[in-house]
Amino acid sequence: MKQISTFGLSSYRISDLQLLRNSDDDAAVAKMLAHCPIMQVEADEAVAESGRARLYILLRGALSVTNDTRTGMADGTVSKILPGESVGEQSVLDEETNLAHITALEQSEVLVVEADLVWQLIDESNVLARNLLRLLSFRIRAANAQLRRRQKLGEFYRQLSMIDGLTGLYNRAWLNDLLPTMVATAHGSNAPLALIMIDLDHFKKFNDSHGHVAGDEALRAAAQVLSGALRPTDFAVRYGGEEMMVLLPDTSDKVAVSVAERLCERMRQAKVFGDMRQPLPHITASFGVAVLQPQQSEQDLIQAADAALYRAKENGRNQVAA
């Protein structure tokens, strides 16, 4: 980066600089900037000098700004600066070193204004203060909008990470995150919480007989049975492999058993795929029901439902045990 002129000796005008446009006295402002250096920067060359708080105004060319201090978001965001625009305002106002990495995208000319002169312009010319407030207000709104978009995107991916890709049910991560809260809420309000453990019967044999593609279809069919038969306040989870789980808030043991029996019957009727050229495979499942007891933890509740599921299997499968 080398000095090629000063603002007073150049053909540039105050109207070329966004921060100083609409001045009541362009001549007075131009006089104050007259000795400010104009630096020529080659493509890919860094602009900002370390340890200095300065205002850089691009006169010609284009700049790339990474970790842009204009928005206060040091997160790798890349901005493009065009002629008339500036960078470094925040460092001047904060009296801190400019942390932005500023690089020329092509051969460019940059007006460099020292921090002391920026403050003098603010004191003696209302135009810089007005334009600076507008600029910072715009950048704050832009940064807030970007932050909201990122929060929404982050929440979207968080929710996506808690959905099982094959069945569309909630996954184990969701269960580990939400079940302790549900148990604590149930204990705090003395409301019942029922849990149904579900295991598809002889699933390995089903896979061996019909193939893993049909096995995946069977898991999806079972998930559809659960999703289609529950209340909006209930939750279906793929616990792992061919094991699934249903959580029923505010549900007594008798109602939970009734729900499990309904699901068991619907599972018997579920068709895995409708290819009429071969025998139609169906699926059955075993169900274990447990209801949260006083002072019982979420792990104990799962173990109680798992023990009931084991009894359903021991009694011949394709049935409900509590």
CB–CB of 112/49 below 8 Å? no
How far apart CA 152 and CA 219 sit, in angstroms, is 31
> Which ranges constitute the DSSP H helices of 84-243?
89-94, 115-124, 126-160, 172-189, 203-210, 212-229
Name the token pair of 257. 């058993």
Helices 115-124 and 26-33, packing angle to 10 deg:
160
Give me the amino acid identity at 193: L
CB–CB of 247/195 below 8 Å? yes
Name the token pair of 129. 């203060």
Contacts of residue 79, Cβ cutoff 8 Å, sequence gap at least 6: 64, 65, 68, 70, 71
Helices 212-229 and 253-269, packing angle to 10 deg:
140
The question of whether 261 is a catalytic residue gets the answer no
| Catalytic-role residue among 106, 242, 243, 298 | 242
Burial pattern 220-239, b for ≥16 Cβ within 10 A else e, equals: bbbbbbbeebbeeebbbbbb
CB–CB of 310/303 below 8 Å? no
State the burial class of residue 141 (Cβ atoms within 10 Å of its Cβ: 0-12, 13-18, 19+).
Answer: exposed
The DSSP line for 49-70 is PTT--EEEEEEES-EEEES-TT
Backbone angles phi, psi at 15, to 5 degrees: -65, -15
How far apart CA 20 and CA 126 sit, in angstroms, is 9
Give the active site residues.
242
